[in-house]
Amino acid sequence: MNIALISIPKIQEPRGNLSVIENDCIPFEMKRVYYLYDVPSGAERGGHAHKNLKQFLVALSGSFDVVLNDAKEQKTVTMNKPFEGLLINPGIWRELNNFSSGSVCLVIASAVFDEADYIRDFEDFIKYKNQ
């Protein structure tokens, strides 16, 4: 599956930890940054794939699961470390669920928002992957 867990540099000191994400940390240039928070218990986010966009997800606080599917296999990755990010390359269906109370999911994207890049129906995703 075309995903990767990537360590984010962490500076530890008695006053608290600091992590830095710069363009050399992730394999694409950052074009958009957004975050998910106050996700109600039992709610799900995602439920789509991208044709071209790359994303890098980080659990800044708390935890959540990312269910990934490339039309051949499905894998669940639990995100719970603010010094580790999940790279999701194009052509991967993703669903985010099991958000803990107070969790914050940071998303760094390789492009600005473009609705035409989204595949929002799972059956359409399977057709797209089988072309």
Q: How much is the pTM?
A: 0.92
Selecting among 48, 67, 71, 97, the annotated active-site residue is 48
Rounded Cα distance between 20 and 55, Å, is 17
Compute the distance between CA of residue 68 and CA of residue 47 in angstroms, rounded to an integer: 10
pLDDT for 98? 96
Going residue by residue through the chain (131 aa), what tens digit of pLDDT does each one get?
Answer: 899 999 999 999 999 999 999 888 899 999 999 999 999 988 999 999 999 999 999 999 999 999 999 999 999 999 999 999 999 999 999 999 999 999 999 999 999 999 999 999 999 999 999 98
Q: What's the confidence (pLDDT) of residue 105?
A: 98
Instruction: Quote the pLDDT of residue 41.
Output: 86
**Which is nearest to 80 in space by CA: 109, 60, 108, 56?**
60
Residue 48 appears among annotated catalytic residues: yes
- Judge contact between 76 and 68, C-beta under 8 A: yes
